[in-house]
A and B are shown apart, each in its own frame.
Chain A
Amino acid sequence: MTQRQLKKNCLIGLVLAAFALPLAVQNPTYLHILIMLFLFAYMTTTWNLVGGFAGVLPLGHSVFVGIGAYSSTVLWLQYGISPWIGMIVGGLLSALVGYLIGKPTLKMRGAYFALSTMAFLEGVRVMVENIDMLGPFKLNGPRGLNIPPLPPEDAGFWVFQFSSKEPYYFIALTMLIAVLALTYFISRSKFGYYLKAGGEEPEAAQALGVNVASCKVAATALSAFLTAMAGTFLAQLTLFIYPKSVLTLDLSFELAFIALIGGRGSIAGPVIGALLLRPVGEFSRIYFSDSLPGLHLIILGVVLIVVMLYQPRGLSEPLLKLFDRITSRFTKEAQEDKV
């Protein structure tokens, strides 16, 4: 067996184990933690398309989560349209917003881009908090939207409501695997290389035929589409959304934290980051939310500082090297072509 095959088998084993996990874990609280872990790994992966590959730091990605959540919820509540269709509609709307906001802001560098995305998010949040009706659509201002739970006999796949946690688990896991596969595919494609080149040395990339600005805008639109799908999922999971739950800086920062700690611009980074940080966040929320609310953000901040000091490119790099060393122990083949 070559090292590459061994790695592939490990990966397949991991995926199968993840799918089999609900057999062992039946406590709904733990399942919920796992679902949120997958959801955050998913959102961070979509964030990573812009924040990692395109080399900018978006800090307002929850605006897309909000668009996804509100789109599908409004369509379901007012028109009875399946949240699955709402997910696509929200995605398209979000991609359009991503395109419109990305077009002018992606020309800015560093902190200016980060600040402008934050400002846009805050603007949208304040707007949603202050209007009850957007045209014919009821947003219900700061009170948010409540999706009445269906009786168990009406729940099911098409209405995206389930009486147990397991279906949510499988949907979240499938979405995560799909988006990871997409990222893998993109990172090896011309588009992926162009994004990386444009993110690192825009002038040099342009001289080599890369239209840096349009690559970044395309990545942002794609990322916005996929992030909005997570918003719909979140709305269906919690059945209650309000501006401060989906359109917040906290959520945007957490995605950036996970990516930075896990490893920006790497495929495994967001997953590793979520695996490490989500449980910390969840447990601190469960045990300290009364005495020390917001403790999880302090913990994230401390972890981020430590990681940035000792592993500025994130934890995925040393961990993958370790994995590489372990798998090479078991195989005797020479190092393969690494590109």
Chain B
Amino acid sequence: MSLLEIQGLTKQFGGLVAVDDLSLSIEKGQILGLIGPNGAGKSTAFNCVAGVYAPTRGSIIFDGEDVTGQKPWDLCRKGMGRTFQIVKPFNSLTALENVMIGAFAITDSREKAKAKAVEVLETLGMGDKKYLKPGTMTIADRKCLEIAKALATDPKLLLLDEVMAGLRPTEVDEVIKIIQTLKAQGMTIFVIEHIMRAIMTLSDEIVVIQFGKKICQGAPEKVASDEKVIKAYLGEDYVPA
């Protein structure tokens, strides 16, 4: 059974159709990549799934339950963890406290939340940075902190919105390693990414959207050689004859 199933998802902002009749599903333990040119509607689709926007039409079934239009905080408690494209750390709190906010989703006890937060930070190799404030951290660490916050809620599905954007190649490799470790532990991950190297390595399957519509779906190699995808990214002239 698939963990997340999106059927006919449509989101309109006034006359603009940002996501148009998008359907896809993610199996348990799978990494699904969502790519598309800028403005294709990836983040909007993500925000519909995570409950930030209520979809105009269509349904979202998560873990066997219809969760269409539910609020972000309820979805989080049902097992959906997400990161933001632009990092949103709580700047007055330490890294540990940032992650504790996430851990409070699964416990009311401060001590348990703290233990959980320490555990998550250590698995991400940030154990020595627990008492730092986000403002003093590198962008790579702040991106990792985003992942840590989401992981502390014990999600079944992790939604990663461009976690590698703005990182140096070596840092990208580190994040790829982290995501691969999570997958090895059985985590299901839905990822938006612009860095092709990363998304090709990570994804089991890729969905490509353009102008809100799905134009291609399949294994990374298949997608990379698809005519429509090349057209969308590079233009008509680059389609091999």
Residues in A lying within 8 Å of B, measured CB to CB: 188-190, 193-194, 196-197, 200-201, 203-212, 265, 338-339
A330 to chain B, nearest CB (A): 23
Q: List 10 A-B contacts (CB under 8 A).
A: A193-B100, A200-B90, A203-B72, A203-B88, A206-B76, A208-B76, A208-B102, A208-B149, A209-B105, A339-B94
A211 contacts B73, CB within 8 Å?
yes
A208 contacts B153, CB within 8 Å?
yes
B71 contacts A206, CB within 8 Å?
yes
Known: A203-B88, A339-B131; 4 extra A-B contacts, CB below 8 A, are A193-B93, A196-B90, A201-B89, A207-B50
B47 to chain A, nearest CB (A): 10
Q: Please choose the segment from B17-25, B57-65, B107-115 that sits at the chain A interface, where 4 or more of its residues have CB less than 8 A away.
A: B107-115
In the complex, residue of chain A having the shortest beta-carbon distance to the beta carbon of B130: A339
In the complex, residue of chain B having the shortest beta-carbon distance to the beta carbon of A211: B73
A193 contacts B92, CB within 8 Å?
no
B92 contacts A201, CB within 8 Å?
no
Complex A-B, nearest 6 residue pairs according to Cβ-Cβ distance, in ascending order? A209-B105, A204-B88, A209-B76, A206-B72, A201-B88, A197-B101
Interface residues on B, range: 20 to 34
A200 contacts B149, CB within 8 Å?
no
B76 contacts A190, CB within 8 Å?
no
Residues of A within 8 A of B88 (CB): 201, 203-204
A339 contacts B84, CB within 8 Å?
no
B193 to chain A, nearest CB (A): 19
Confirm or deny: B211 has a beta carbon within 8 angstroms of a beta carbon on chain A: no
B113 contacts A339, CB within 8 Å?
no
A208 contacts B52, CB within 8 Å?
no
In the complex, residue of chain A having the shortest beta-carbon distance to the beta carbon of B99: A208
Confirm or deny: B82 has a beta carbon within 8 angstroms of a beta carbon on chain A: yes
B87 to chain A, nearest CB (A): 9
In the complex, residue of chain A having the shortest beta-carbon distance to the beta carbon of B159: A207
A204 contacts B108, CB within 8 Å?
no
A190 contacts B113, CB within 8 Å?
yes
A188 contacts B52, CB within 8 Å?
no
Which residues from 49 to 88 on chain B have a C-beta closer than 8 Å to any C-beta of chain A?
50, 52, 71-73, 76-77, 81-82, 84, 88
